[in-house]
Amino acid sequence: MKIFKFGGASVKDAESVKNVAVVLESQGFEKCLLVVSAMGKTTNALEKVVEYYFAKEDYHAEIEKVKQNHLDISNGLFQENHPVFAEISLFFDDIESFLRRNKSPNYNFVYDQVVSCGEMISSKILSEYLNDIQFKNTWLDARDYIKTDSNYREGTIDWEETQKNISALNPQNSYVTQGFIGSESNNFTVTLGREGSDYSAAVFAYCLDAEAMTIWKDVPGVMTGDPRKFENVSLLSNISYEEAIEMAYYGASVIHPKTLQPLQQKNIPFYVKSFLDPSKPGTKVGNTDKNRFEESYILKENQHLMRIATRDFSFIAEEHLSQIFALLAKYKIKISLMQNSAISLALCLEDKYNNIDELNKELQMGFDSEMVKNVSLFTVRNANLEDINKFYENKNILLEQISKKTIQVVIN
């Protein structure tokens, strides 16, 4: 069985949905499971609904905008009396009904119940369209298959239960389902983290022992840098799982960090290809002796640089580190780079849940800390260290770290 994942850009409008069919025709649709993201910027729009709901502002108008966008897309795909229009309306009625009845003050819980609807609607539209043009498929609710704990917005997968559920699928059939979402033991929706649709595809691939998995992007494959941020980048035609995991860890946006581990465990080949030109080979990630160790550039933005020191100039020792790491875990803040000296610790941090000020406040109860917000982490993989000065040109360097052939600098 083949696993194909289509992101938001590949289903952003009616013409894009039609292009998915073109891609499938070129690849062969038999014995295939499609994992679909929310359409275009739907996730951002539904996030605004949640923000307005907690701010006690008019979120109804925002829901109506998202609904109208999906109806407009569907008007370009279906006849006027198609049953998909009623289904779309039901999804948005469910959002309204949930928010009207909800008593939970837990932002992350509410977020998952609302924002996940983007994937539900996009996958239903795509499934219905493909069936209409004779690409026969069964629509699946991913929440019935991917089971997680109740860590809302960052669910951890229950692999045993998930494997049992997905193994029941018939590998001779074709399916359309959602990325990004699963459910916990009470069947409430749990999302897998932003950009988690790639991870969902890898979970299905692992549990189905897929022959291959392909992610369809608006770029030719894995590049030596994001072409929107760097000039003169080139395609990496073959890279190993290990190299891809390193690139994802450092922040390469084309691959979700958790995606690669399930694929590597079963040696499932992973392709990144362009839905704009599906005939091109793209990038193959897998066990390979053709790994291309080319100089690659990664810019991870929206980071915060924090320096932490003991107040009595004593060493930053194990007990201090354990306190600091416990607070980072408490506030769900991730470390992108760490560097310590005898009496201080420098951390480049990613704060997805806007908890950095609360963390800093609690840290200052026992430590001295200072922070520079909204910095960027610039990473060079497989760097030519003989020409190192070029990486420092026209940059305000706040922190640097070099290990083997990897250079990292925090800049603002």
pLDDT tens figures, 323-342: 999 999 999 999 999 999 88
**Residue owning tokens 């992007």:** 217
pLDDT of amino acid 137: 97
Residues in CB range of 261: below 8 A, 6 or more apart: 202, 245
DSSP H or E segment with residue 160: helix 159-167
Residue count (the chain): 412
3-state secondary structure of 38: coil
Looking at residue 334, what is its pLDDT? 94
Q: CA–CA separation, 160 vs 140, rounded Å?
A: 19
pLDDT reported for residue 258: 86
What is the value of pTM for the model shown? Answer: 0.88
Summarize pLDDT for 34-92 with one digit per residue, the tens: 999 999 999 999 999 999 999 999 999 999 999 999 999 999 999 999 999 999 999 99
Residue spans in the chain of domains classed CATH 3.40.1160.10: 2-217
Checking if the pLDDT of 253 tops 80, the result is: no
Confidence tier at 252 by pLDDT (50, 70, 90): confident
What sign does the dihedral 237-260-13-22 (CA atoms) show?
A: positive
Its CATH class, for the domain covering 2-217, is alpha beta
User: What is the DSSP annotation of 179-223?
Assistant: SSEEE-TT--EEE--TTTHHHHHHHHHHHTT-SEEEEEESSSSSB
In tens, the pLDDT along 376-385 reads: 999 999 888 8
> What are the start and end residues of each CATH 3.30.2130.10 domain in the chain?
296-411
Secondary structure letter of residue 389 according to DSSP? G
Q: What share of the chain is helix, strand, coil (3-state, %, to 5)?
A: 40, 25, 40
pLDDT at 293 over 90: no
Tell me, what's the pLDDT at 231?
87
| Span 296-411 CATH architecture | 2-Layer Sandwich (3.30)
124's tokens: 């239903």
**pLDDT-based confidence at residue 247 (cuts at 50, 70, 90):** confident
Nearest 10 degrees: CA dihedral of 201, 202, 204, 209?
Answer: 140
CB distance 284 to 253 below 8 Å: no
Specify whether the CB–CB gap between 175 and 138 falls below 8 A: yes
**Residue in the structure block whose two tokens are 């979120």:** 59
| C-alpha pair distances (Å), 126 with each of 50, 133, 200, 331, 380 | 25, 11, 17, 37, 39
CB 189 within 8 A of CB 178: no
